[in-house]
Amino acid sequence: MSDTALNAPWATADRQRVATQFGMWAFLATETLFFGAIFLFYAVARWSHPAGFLAGAREADAWFGSANTIVLLTSSLTMAIAERGVRAGLVALARAMYALTIALGLCFLTIKGFEYAKDISEHLIPGRRFPLAETGASAFWAFYWTVTVVHAIHLTIGLGIVARMLLIPRDRLAARWTTAEGTALYWHLVDVVWVFLYPLLYLAGR
């Protein structure tokens, strides 16, 4: 493992690492509670009106969802390689993997944009022009829009965090492995949330 770049107020690499991990895990715990509340809404809405809720779910485009799942899981792999590359002092490899992770993240958002355009053109937004009459269908789409927009915001924040790794000078990147570790934890959280969302959004009712 490379030497560690110490940030104030930490006097040792071990303390800095523990503090970084604790802070990130505390943040992830709050995120888990947040998404847990959203998933609870999904469970209650689906249980209350199962037929209408699943009728709404069948309108979600599984092709877009599946493509984005592949893209995001691939980005999780490139992030893992980047984090290991920083630890091993393989700066060129790490930077290439960070750049690829950003490209895959942008690809995810682009696909999601096309999906949103299709959904909007079909008026799949709860409201006056919503095309599905079954009770519960609008609840699914309220969940869909809420959770996918929140996820996209988290992913966009993640892109900024990953981009920050590329701004670190090459000769100092290997010493920033605790930062790389925190960056990887955040990105994997975004991926894990999507792994739970995919079957709820695109496989329900099929």
pLDDT recorded at residue 36: 87
Helix, strand counts (H, E) of the chain? 7, 0
Q: Which helix (H) or strand (E) holds 86?
A: helix 62-88
Tokens, residue 188: 């994997």
pLDDT recorded at residue 32: 82
pLDDT recorded at residue 34: 86
CB atoms within 10 A of CB 9: 8
DSSP 127-140: STT----STTHHHH
DSSP at 175: G
CA separation for the pair 79, 101 (Å, rounded): 6
pLDDT recorded at residue 30: 87
- The ranges of the chain with pLDDT < 70 are 1-8, 10-11
Question: What does the pLDDT look like over 157-191, one tens digit per residue?
Answer: 999 999 999 999 988 888 888 889 889 999 998 99
CA atoms within 13 A on the CB side of 38: 22
pLDDT recorded at residue 102: 98
Nearest Cα residue to 25 out of 181, 147, 156: 181
CA separation for the pair 84, 187 (Å, rounded): 14
Burial class (CB in 10 A: 0-12, 13-18, 19+), 97: buried
pLDDT recorded at residue 8: 64
CA separation for the pair 174, 89 (Å, rounded): 5
